[in-house]
Structure 1
Amino acid sequence: MTVTGKTTMVTGGTGTLGRLVVERLRAGGGEVRVLSRHAPPPYAIDLRKGGAGLVEALTGADTVVHCASNPRGGDEEAARHLIEAARAAEVRHLVYISIVGVDQVQFGYYRSKLAVERLIEESGLGWSVLRTTQFHDLVLQVLSAFAKLPVMPVPVGLVDQPIDSGEVAVRLAELAAGEPAGRVPDMGGPEVRTFADLARAYLRASGRRRPLLKVPLAGRTYRSFRAGGHLAPERNVGVGTFEDFLAGRFPPAESR
């Protein structure tokens, strides 16, 4: 993967995925700009607000990798501002990271990600969209929160297919280095696992002891998750397992 001579902007470039994409792109050569609310000037921009400075920040960029996202809302507004500025700055290629199942799972954040996909497809820009399953990082965040309770709740019938964010970053960097490809094949983690199984793996790695409490779920959102709309078992191209990820986060028991 070589991007020598190209200028690439990464939105959300200080986040979990974005910083890994930045690292991969910089390793390949070329200029990489990081746009984030937490980036140094002149790239400290909140996409949800848009406004002065965004076109200037994008001017001269060949490609934008759009990793900025907020489950609490604002993604569609941010995408509109980014697309408008990208057109004005004559950006050639917009790469977007989305989620497997945004067109199947009845969940507000997923609907927003799907809406952004459609905005990009209709933008008139060259574009590539990659959907992946959930990151190991998110699963760890959820399990860590659940483990703060005396009894660890696990949703009944819920499965997941987590993937390593570093592997996703590699693929996004490849897409950024290439030509606009439209909707590319999904990326899924190497294994489909029950949530209870993932919880037990987390407890083993962290050295915590918590009884698991199976919690039945109801509602349209959980029915769509239980139906597996967020999975891509036929695209289990990820290599790193959840245990591999945990091994990098927790020291061996004998060194604790």
Structure 2
Amino acid sequence: MAEEDTVTLYGFWASPYAKRVELALKLKGIPYEYVEEDFPNKSSELIRYNPVYKKVPVLVHNGKAISESLVILEYIDETWKTGPKLLPDDPYKRAQVRFWASFLEQLFGSMLTALKSSTGEAQHKAFMEVSHKLELLEEGLKNFYPDCTRIDGASVGLLDLVMVSMFGGKRVQEEVLGINVIDHDKTPLLSAWITALGDIPLVKEALPPHDKLVAFLKYIRENALKSSAP
């Protein structure tokens, strides 16, 4: 890209959606400015650049704003040819990546439901849904992405970024929720995939600090439980 290109990422340290974009920029070696948003006091720039959703991440490239993390990742891959290629050239494989990325988004939504559920039947139901979806993902990976455990910084793709941004902090999720989110015995491929991703130096450096993220998720959970209390 031309030297005069300017790239700014509006994010939030605990947002997995912003984190995956940040990782993509780092892995591709793209210089950028990072702007940390202070929630709930969103900046006027964020609201101006993303007037529809008013949330992070937003990537501003030469004054033009792109919102929604999966859209941003595809834009980055199409615009910058440096570093790992995030999407395969083959149309069928590219469609499969998009399908499983969307599935991971739904899975993480179930995780958030579990995080915010009160104890009892609602929480159990949310955990069961998470477990079922993890097993479906495990089976899908065996056919679509059997080599995921051999990933490194030069071969990271869009699906890897989505996975590590959501479950790279699985130890945090397990500590807050009190359950083994990704069980090695039940989903060994998923477990090995997360471990391989976490061993990549850039990923290891970029993930939020364990204790800080634990405190944040506990705060989210406690607030959710208070608001649902009779």
TM-score by length of 1: 0.30
Which structure has more RCO (C-alpha within 8 Å, separation ≥ 6)? 2
Q: Which protein is richer in strand relative to its size?
A: 1
Q: Which protein is richer in helix relative to its size?
A: 2
Structure showing greater Rg: 1
TM-score by length of 2: 0.32
